[in-house]
Structure 1
Amino acid sequence: MKSINFIIKYFIISVLFLACSKNSENTQIPTNQSQEITIFHINDQHGQLDNFSKIKHIVDEEKKLSNVLLVCGGDIFSGNPVVDNHPQKGFPMIDVMNAVGFDVSVIGNHEFDYGELILNDRFSQSKFSWICANVNTSNSTISQPNAFKTITINGLNITFLGLVETSGKDNDIIPSTHPWRVQNLTFEKFENSVVKYANLKESQQADVLVALTHLGENSDFKLANNYPYFDLIIGGHSHTVTNQTVNNIPIYQAGSNLNNLGKIKLSIKNKQIESISYQLINLNNYTNFDAAIKEKVDYYNANSNLDDIIGFSEAYHSKSDVGSLYTDILRKQMNVDLTFQNTGGIRNTLDAGNILKREIYSIDPFNNGSVTYSMTIAEIKNFLKQSKIAIYYAGVNILQVNSTIEIRDENNQQLNDNTTLTVGLNDYIPAVYDTYFTQTPTIKPYTTAEGLIEYLQNNTGAINYTQVNSYFQYQ
């Protein structure tokens, strides 16, 4: 009897051993078995660094439980002077994202703000992949990014296709950045690019195909409706908190300025999403952090030399108040008759009390140059009427009377159409609206932000523009 029991036990052990040996040799996971993966995402951080230590902690905790990827929906630059005015513009963001462990980012429109050479340097320093299907850099100094990236994790193939918006100029196809900084690049509308990748999931043998976009919420909806190749869309650009399903495709966006971290949990079976759940994590309410990342961020913040006091504000200034302040100070600094500033170029408010250098750079983060033109009143009116640009201005009074624009001097005297004024503005405006600014400008030796800082440093009077309304847009 003992002999028979021994034989039975030996047989069972042998079968189990062979079964385990077979599984250990076969690293492929059966196609009929569900697998879990978590994709964390951010977008439009615009240079904000402080919450990355929290992201690192959250991601590392999740890695103990699941397969994890960490991705970005673009616009990592422009918005924080610690990043934008570092000796290597933008490098602190790359350094921190490398340390946190990002896997892939789509190129956003503000990635081009520093110019070609700097962007190429930042690309080369990145340990994560940059993707974009609708840009061609062959005539520039920027290395051509891949259109897509397939990441294999624990036997799963996750493919990301990158797309960037191209609504930066009415008569051109470029992203919303300074046109002079993308002169050597060629862009396609995303609709023309994405059709080339209709079979990408099959060709990459992907378990999940993700559109990682910097198009904005409405364009993501259009992408889902008209080009339903994707299992999900992770977006950016519109700074929205998006959690919607369009044409059976989930679409997510996590707001902006590193306030939130999106968490997508997927269960995948037979190359299909079996189940999906979503959580938007408010990083400002999250208390745990990674000490090493926090130390790195604290170092960049402490060594930025941005806390010099350069002026005093008597009151809190809203963005519209800041627009009035901005244009009037630049008018005086540039010694011109009239200044314009596009409303989208005012990126922050101004607190009451001491004005710090960092506040001016956060208001005006784009490193735009300062230029002047000579323009007749008729040319100025034509520009305002035809472009319908929303502006802040200083030096004159601009009114719309029915369908007519009137421009009056500071004594409220209407100026004749043949009168010539010197006009000062940032060089982004004439680059975008080049059909209205055809002459060669006079270039000032400072950026608009530097002009503001220099004026405030040299003029000790308190600032208060809360009662000034200098907004105009032709209706």
Structure 2
Amino acid sequence: MKLKIFFFLGLLCSLKLLAQDIPFRLMHTNDLHSHLEGSWKINQAGTPIRMGHYARLIYEIDQRRQEAKQKSQATILVDAGDFFAGTIFHTLAPWDKVTEFPEWEYFSRAGYDAVILGNHEFDPGNRGFSVMLSKIDGGPKLISTNIVLPKEFDGTKILKSAIKEISYQSHKINVGILGILPPDGCLVSKASRENIRFVGFEDSTSKAKWSELEELLANEIQKLKKQAQVVILVMHGGNPEDERLASNLKDVDFIIAGHTHRVYGHTVSGVPISQAGDFGSHLGSIDLSYSLKEKKLRVLSPEADWIQPIFSNGAKDPEFEKRIDHFKKLAKLRFGARVANFEQILFTPTQNYLRAREVNNQLGVFVTSHIRQSLNTKIKDPVDIYFTSMGLIRSSFIKDIPYSFPDLFEMLSVGFAADGSPGAEISIFKLTPNDIEKVIGFMELYSNFSNSFAPAFSDSLSFKVRKWGIPFINRIYDIKVHGVDLDEMDQPITVATNMIVAKNVDMVTQKTYGLVSITPLGSDLKPKVPIATTLPKEFELLSDAFLEFKTP
């Protein structure tokens, strides 16, 4: 009899302890980049596979939410920014001739609780960004904790934070959500943000102000902690920015990362950090539990299970798949005269050209060389060098995969013209041989710190790198233009790039603390601020290259 009593009392104690834990499921995405139909990836075996698709994501999210509901678990679903810019679909949201906002419609249908701003949400400039905000009607909370808007800008739909109440049995807790754009995202969006700025970054000098950002976050966390038991920091930044904040901030319970397009889940300084790749290829899904007794968040899921792939054989939500077809028809209209060639296969590569940060990356050389080739058929005075950054070449060319106009636009999708039309405009100017060497040196050096600076030059330029060399002294050597040693040239060289790169020429001076400067020159060899031409845009030039020239 005593044994039964002790067993019954033990069971009651166990149930009481269990009741003091509030379980919930945290799901997340990042860097979706308007890839409504998914994207091609190369698996570990070197085989191309199709991953993602918003209709599949919706189905998977619905399934995981239903599974949690059966366990009486609440769910929280967030996105870590850069949901915009990357395919033909992103041309609709900032277009004031239509009401559609495909990316936000997806968030609303999938039941996201919070979405934060990344760097690419500012690609269409203030006017396009304002149009996007005007189309938001319901759906998730849009959060940017460190944004500083100009007085004339209507930012009423952008919140500093959000709180979601979750419950289990008779217990309830609040989960606070913060969202930030850290310094690297601020740096690469400086040219498109106009007069919108962020705490933690000084636009005038292109310098990170980490102490200011960390002070802001510490204050916001303390405010949230007055109402919330758990604080989740959603940031459009990855390693090392996420690990820095995990180590330096107190009372952050979980960090959802983005920006670097990586897949990982680990713990740093006691803070779990998770990032789910890009383009909807993965979904983060982590089971958590908050202990009312210990006032502490516990991670229940093994780290290896935090991130789930979304493969092409997964089930789809049929209604949203129909919406994607509708959006595609509107996107065709957005490109006007290009509709005639919209579905035509322009290029089927016979080898892989894979996107990577390495110097002289094969894809970068291939793309810039074809742009230069096409550009020179349209101008009187030929361009000697075309260059950009690998951060602006957004996808790879995969062997035996046929590519049509929408696929080529996807590769060079970043940027909008002054008139709001999609695509990066071309700028042509001259640089002295000395400045050519500085451009190479700067991009090569800073590619070690940020993917955004990894250089891509046309095959008309070649150079070598001494890894042990001193930057801007002897690190870059054996530079040749059209096979001629740069040292033998005494006249300015004609170069071309997109306006995104051209607008950031001043960054060389800022990032080198004034020790190195580059001066663009006009045809009269006088200093000139780079301006956009009326020539076809990058994606149009690449398309024309494949139409005009036989390409392997």
> 1:353, 1:151 → 2: CA distance?
44
Note if 1:449 corresponds to 2:539: yes
Shift of 1:135: 1.5
Shift of 1:328: 1.8
Shift of 1:180: 2.4
Q: After the TM superposition, which residues 159-238 of structure 1 pair with which residues of structure 2 at under 5 Å, given as runs?
A: 159-167=176-184, 174-177=186-189, 179-189=190-200, 190-203=213-226, 205-238=227-260
Note if 1:325 corresponds to 2:372: no
- State the one-letter code of the partner of 1:463: T
- State the one-letter code of the partner of 1:149: A
Query: Which of 125, 132, 149 is residue 137 of structure 1 equivalent to?
Result: 149
> 2:384, 2:425 → 1: CA distance?
18
Equivalent pairs, count: 426
| 2:31 paired residue number | 44
Query: Which of 408, 421, 425 is residue 497 of structure 2 equivalent to?
Result: 425
| 2:165 paired residue number | 152
Instruction: Give CA deviations for 1:183-241 in whole Å, capped at 9, x if unaligned.
Output: 201212233432322413332x1021111111213222211211122121122122222
Shift of 1:72: 0.7
Classify the secondary structure of the residue corresponding to 1:311: coil
Query: Which of 394, 413, 421 is residue 347 of structure 1 equivalent to?
Result: 394
- Which has the larger displacement, 280-289 or 106-115? 280-289
Instruction: Give CA deviations for 1:233-265 in whole Å, capped at 9, x if unaligned.
Output: 122122222222222222222222212211122
The 1:153/1:440 distance shift into structure 2, 3 A limit, reads: same
| 1:316 paired residue number | 351
Task: Name whichever structure is richer in strand by fraction.
Answer: 1
Note if 1:381 corresponds to 2:381: no
| 1:372 paired residue number | 428
Query: Which of 115, 124, 133 is residue 125 of structure 2 equivalent to?
Result: 115
- State the one-letter code of the partner of 2:146: N
Shift of 1:364: 0.9
- State the one-letter code of the partner of 2:406: R
- State the one-letter code of the partner of 2:28: H
Structure 1: runs of 5+ lacking an equivalent: 1-29, 169-173, 465-475
Runs of 4+ displaced beyond 6 Å: none
> 1:377, 1:192 → 2: CA distance?
45
Shift of 1:41: 0.9
> 2:131, 2:68 → 1: CA distance?
31
Structure 2: runs of 5+ lacking an equivalent: 1-16, 37-52, 201-212, 333-338, 355-360, 377-382, 416-423, 445-452, 467-473, 510-517, 521-527
> 1:120, 1:273 → 2: CA distance?
40
The 1:242/1:45 distance shift into structure 2, 3 A limit, reads: same
- State the one-letter code of the partner of 1:397: L
> 2:247, 2:428 → 1: CA distance?
46
Shift of 1:76: 0.6
| 2:14 paired residue number | none
Note if 1:463 corresponds to 2:551: yes
The 1:269/1:361 distance shift into structure 2, 3 A limit, reads: same
Instruction: Give CA deviations for 1:17-63 in whole Å, capped at 9, x if unaligned.
Output: xxxxxxxxxxxxx9974333222111111212213332343244236
Shift of 1:451: 2.5
| 1:8 paired residue number | none
| 2:299 paired residue number | 276
> 1:222, 1:405 → 2: CA distance?
35
> 1:378, 1:405 → 2: CA distance?
12
- Which has the larger displacement, 391-400 or 91-100? 391-400
TM-score (norm 1): 0.80
- State the one-letter code of the partner of 1:209: V
| 1:80 paired residue number | 87
Instruction: Give CA deviations for 1:397-456 in whole Å, capped at 9, x if unaligned.
Output: 332486264443435455645311211101122222324255222422243112222443
Classify the secondary structure of the residue corresponding to 2:502: helix
The 1:226/1:326 distance shift into structure 2, 3 A limit, reads: same
Shift of 1:344: 2.0
- Which has the larger displacement, 402-411 or 100-109? 402-411
> 1:199, 1:156 → 2: CA distance?
16
The 1:290/1:314 distance shift into structure 2, 3 A limit, reads: closer
Classify the secondary structure of the residue corresponding to 1:181: coil
Classify the secondary structure of the residue corresponding to 1:450: helix
| 1:26 paired residue number | none
- Which has the larger displacement, 288-297 or 420-429? 288-297
Q: Is the 8 A contact 1:73 1:236 kept in 2?
A: yes
User: Percent identity among equivalent residues?
Assistant: 22
- State the one-letter code of the partner of 2:131: D
- State the one-letter code of the partner of 1:421: I
Shift of 1:362: 1.7
Shift of 1:357: 0.4
User: RMSD across aligned C-alpha pairs, in angstroms?
Assistant: 2.9
Q: After the TM superposition, which residues 254-269 of structure 1 pair with which residues of structure 2 at under 5 Å, given as runs?
A: 254-269=276-291
The 1:409/1:231 distance shift into structure 2, 3 A limit, reads: closer
Q: Is the 8 A contact 2:291 2:298 kept in 1?
A: no
Shift of 1:86: 6.9
Instruction: Give CA deviations for 1:332-363 in whole Å, capped at 9, x if unaligned.
Output: 33331211121222222224465310121121
TM-score (norm 2): 0.70
- State the one-letter code of the partner of 1:54: Y
Shift of 1:164: 1.1
| 1:12 paired residue number | none
Query: Which of 316, 330, 335 is residue 289 of structure 1 equivalent to?
Result: 316
The 1:42/1:124 distance shift into structure 2, 3 A limit, reads: same
| 2:384 paired residue number | 337
The 1:286/1:63 distance shift into structure 2, 3 A limit, reads: farther
> 1:360, 1:453 → 2: CA distance?
7
The 1:395/1:260 distance shift into structure 2, 3 A limit, reads: closer
- Which has the larger displacement, 330-339 or 100-109? 330-339
Q: Is the 8 A contact 1:119 1:142 kept in 2?
A: no
